[in-house]
Amino acid sequence: MENFDFELTSEESGKIDIQAHSKPYQERIREITKSGNLYIDPGEIWEYWNVLKSENLFERLFLDITLQDMITNEKVTNHYNQIKNYLARWREREGSGINFSSSHNGYSISELERYLEEAFISLKNVQGRVDYYASWKRKADSDAYEKLAPYILTAIEDKILSFTEKRLIFTEGQKLGLTNDQIAEEINKYKRIRGDVKDETESENKLPAIIMTKEDAYNLFSVSKDASEQEIEESYHILRDSYITGLNSSIENIRTRSKIKLEEIDYAFSLIQKARKEMFHENKPLLPVKPGQAKKQVAKTEIKQKDADPREKKMQIINTFIIKFSKYFDGKTIFLVKEMLESRIEAVDDALLFIRMKNPIVTILLGVFLGFYGADRFFLKDFGLGALKLGLVIIIGLIARDESLLGLYIFPWIFYIADLITAKSRTAKYNLKSLENYLNLKSGTFR
């Protein structure tokens, strides 16, 4: 019998949670599905042996179900034989005293062979694969719709669907594997159920902007991917300034178009920033791996099928928060907040959704009707200036009894008007401060 030189590890030394590495794992299956050249060295512990436990029959054969049109009977048989030979060679080793289950998390060869045979019998023919894919797709779409629903309901809660909210819904839907048509149809379904929802993107065909790509973003600013940060920022500000004046137009359609265009510009800028950030991380050198270390790790690779990924739950909390409160911030700030929350994802919990955010419209209304009494300041917990405004009204009311002291009224009026002008920005600062307190960040981090 042949002797194979391979290294077994203890139960703890090489244990990996594949959930944290799901992207490389899925990418590897996709690569092999496209090339069709799966080869498993029988003298090594196959690092992906855990696919045999997958609920997805395609994955058990190391095939990507989303590429089922590229999968032939020959490819299925080849993958099946490679995995079957791997298990058969291990059965031979067991006869010489080498224990399979000790290096495969307690699973027996017979158990994994049953999983393999079940997958092969179901998928070896074209019709079997078509039927299984159709069943899988229905369930995948159903699960995706269920996960997307809270984002849509949160966005239309106030019966206004903004450009930013719609774009975030499309982003989440795409992550869940839905097509743009499916996402748009789902949004329309909930709009009909809710009734009387004002969709700010319906005045123009804004779908291309909502599903904007990185290339679209660069084209919008008329810059190349090799442009410097300064060139991109200059183009961003020039384009943005050209639409700012439209917000003050007396014509509602112009104001609406300007608002949507500004949101589109802000989103494009954030998309470029994110793309360049990802490019920086991709180009960073990987940490060196000591000889034998990779083999030790893959021996205990675990694929979790039923346990929900805690990180995914936290991402859902973050995205729900962003959709719910996006109308309170500009696009650039939203991107910064989302990036900060994602970078500190371990600190995120359900409490994020219960942070008390102030609506700038309420601040403005209080400023208009009760500004002299400091109500707008008290609303934002600025008790010092709130008390000052209230005190000015009382003091001036007591001493200004003739026309010669009429000038005393000028200062409160200046105070009153200044507060109205800055109401929106003051509310945004209050909201960002609430976020900073939640994340225990230094004051001014988001500014």
Give the residue from 98, 124, 150 where a domain finishes.
Answer: 124
337 and 277 in one domain? no
pLDDT of residue 83: 94
Token pair for residue 266?
């802000």
Count of structural domains, the chain: 4
**What pLDDT does 316 receive?**
79
Co-location of 333 and 272 in the same domain: no
Q: How many Cβ atoms are within 10 Å of 52's Cβ, its own excluded?
A: 25
Distance CA 184, CA 240 (A): 28
3 state SS for 228-277: CHHHHHHHHHHHHHHHHHHHHCCCHHHHHHHHHHHHHHHHHHHHHHHHHH
For each of the chain's 447 residues, which pLDDT tens digit applies? 333 333 333 333 333 333 333 445 788 899 999 988 899 987 788 989 989 999 999 999 999 998 988 999 999 999 999 999 999 988 888 777 778 888 888 889 999 999 999 999 999 999 999 999 999 999 999 999 998 998 898 888 888 888 778 888 888 888 888 888 889 889 989 988 888 888 877 655 555 556 677 777 888 888 888 888 888 888 888 888 888 877 777 787 777 777 777 877 887 888 888 777 766 554 444 333 343 443 444 443 343 444 456 777 888 788 777 777 777 776 667 777 887 888 888 878 877 777 778 888 888 888 888 877 778 888 888 888 888 877 777 776 666 555 555 555 666 777 778 888 888 888 888 888 887 887 777 766 665
Output the pLDDT for position 405: 54
Please indicate, yes or no, whether residues 267 and 325 belong to a single structural domain of this protein. Answer: no
Residue 337 is predicted with a pLDDT of 80
pTM of the model: 0.50
Per-residue pLDDT at 444: 66
Domain end (from 318, 348, 378): 348
Range(s) of the domain holding residue 220: 214-281
pLDDT score recorded for residue 314: 82
Give the pLDDT confidence score for residue 297 in this predicted structure: 41
Residue 145 inside a domain? The answer is no
Distance between start and end Cα atoms, the chain: 69
Do both 112 and 83 map to the same domain? yes
118 falls within a domain: yes
CB contact set of 62 (below 8 Å; sequence gap of 6+): 29, 32, 33, 38, 48, 51, 79, 83
Judge if 48 and 119 occupy the same domain. Answer: yes
Contact of 36 with 78, CB cutoff 8 Å: yes
The whole-number pLDDT of residue 396 equals 67
Asked if residue 390 and residue 323 are part of one domain, the reply reads no
Q: What is the pLDDT of residue 298?
A: 40
The reply to whether 136 falls in a domain is: no
CB atoms within 10 A of CB 217: 22
Confirm whether 41 is domain-assigned: yes
Structure tokens at 114: 């049953």
Q: Are strands 198-199 and 160-161 parallel, antiparallel or unpaired?
A: parallel
Residue 43 one-letter amino acid = G
> With contact defined as beta carbons under 8 Å apart, do 16 and 297 qualify?
yes
Query: How far apart are alpha carbons 352 and 312 in whole angstroms?
Result: 15
